[in-house]
């Protein structure tokens, strides 16, 4: 029987038919047994060359087959994500990284899925790698910053990552996120500057007004806080307390 090609785990490659996997082995070199009573002769030079070429072709085919397995694992992970099965997606991405430790898609997939599964400690190293691999991806930066801020007690790192995010997307939302990290890091002056920049950028961004008023009131700057309320009223922004009541 012709042996089937298998993956590094000993299982047939996902999505690979038996016929296709058998193909890479079907031309393995063999030679007939010598006739009875006649000693075996050494193989001629052209036979050795043929065997060498066959071996090289076989190794190349195996490499291509394993590469195809990797693509299949990532594709299956995408399908699992679409179906909402993040646990299966994580398992598939991890299997892919066993094959190819620097696979960008698998690293990013684990960064996102583990974060969504609230496995923040496991997500962290993949988030850090993903941010380095995708420096313009603002969402990855925001999620990494929230992990630093809310689950790793590293507000200074959150500030640094969100500052990078602002450089790519200077929106009121990202500026407000940066201000929250700056407040947690004990940098109220920087936080105030970020919140005022957010209001200037988008005068309708209610969250920036609320945080700025709270910051000013905590510092005893009640007149400044009243001025921010007046600015919100002038912009037509209805401020609410966290319990939903109007300020």
Distance (Å, whole) CA 59 – CA 28: 11
Beta bridge partners of 246: 240
What domains lie within the chain, and their CATH numbers?
1-21+58-133 (1.25.40.10), 135-247 (1.25.40.10)
- Contact assessment for residue 118 and residue 103, using Cβ atoms and an 8 Å cutoff: no
Cβ within 8 Å of residue 95, ≥6 positions away: 9, 73
Q: Does the CA dihedral 160-165-168-169 come out positive or negative?
A: negative
- Residue 36 CA neighbour count, 13 Å, CB half: 0
- Run of H or E residues at 104: helix 104-116
Work out the burial of residue 247: count CB atoms within 10 Å of its CB; fewer than 13 is exposed, 13-18 middle, 19 or more buried: exposed
Count the Cβ atoms, other than its own, within 10 Å of residue 31: 10
- Residue 163 CA neighbour count, 13 Å, CB half: 10
Distance (Å, whole) CA 100 – CA 174: 34
Q: Which residue has the tokens 């007046």?
A: 230
Q: Is-above-0.85 flag for pTM?
A: no
Q: Which residues of the chain have pLDDT under 70?
A: 1-70, 241-247
According to DSSP, residue 240 is labeled: B
**Size of the chain in residues:** 247
Q: What is the pLDDT of residue 240?
A: 75
Q: How far is CA 37 from CA 33, 34, 40, in A?
A: 11, 8, 9
- Digit-coded pLDDT (tens) for 64-115: 444 446 579 999 999 999 999 999 999 999 999 999 999 999 999 999 999 9
Q: What is the pLDDT of residue 173?
A: 98
Give, in degrees to the nearest 5, the angle at Cα 134 between 130 and 138. Answer: 95
Q: What is the pLDDT of residue 52?
A: 56
């Amino acid at each position: 029987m012709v042996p089937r090609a298998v993956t590094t785990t000993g299982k047939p490659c996902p999505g690979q038919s038996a016929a296709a996997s058998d193909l890479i082995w079907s031309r393995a070199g063999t030679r007939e047994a010598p006739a009875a009573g006649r000693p075996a002769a050494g193989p001629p030079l052209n036979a050795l060359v043929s065997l060498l070429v066959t071996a090289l072709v076989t190794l190349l085919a195996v490499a291509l087959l394993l590469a195809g397995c990797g693509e299949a694992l990532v594709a299956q992970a995408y399908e699992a994500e679409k179906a909402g099965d993040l646990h299966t997606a994580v398992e598939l991405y991890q299997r892919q990284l066993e094959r190819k430790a620097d696979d960008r898609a698998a690293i990013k997939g684990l960064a996102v899925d583990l974060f969504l599964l609230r496995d923040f400690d496991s997500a962290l190293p993949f988030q850090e790698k993903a941010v380095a691999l995708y420096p313009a991806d603002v969402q990855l930066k925001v999620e990494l910053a929230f992990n630093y801020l809310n689950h790793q007690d590293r507000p200074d790192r959150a500030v640094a990552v969100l500052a990078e995010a602002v450089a790519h997307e200077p929106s009121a939302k990202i500026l407000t996120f940066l201000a929250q990290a700056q407040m947690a890091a004990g940098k109220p002056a920087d936080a105030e500057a970020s919140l005022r920049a957010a209001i200037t950028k988008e005068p309708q961004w209610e969250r920036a007004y609320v945080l700025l008023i709270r910051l000013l009131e905590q510092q005893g700057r009640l007149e400044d806080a009243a001025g921010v309320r007046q600015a919100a009223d002038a912009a037509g922004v209805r401020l609410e307390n966290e319990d939903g009541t109007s300020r």
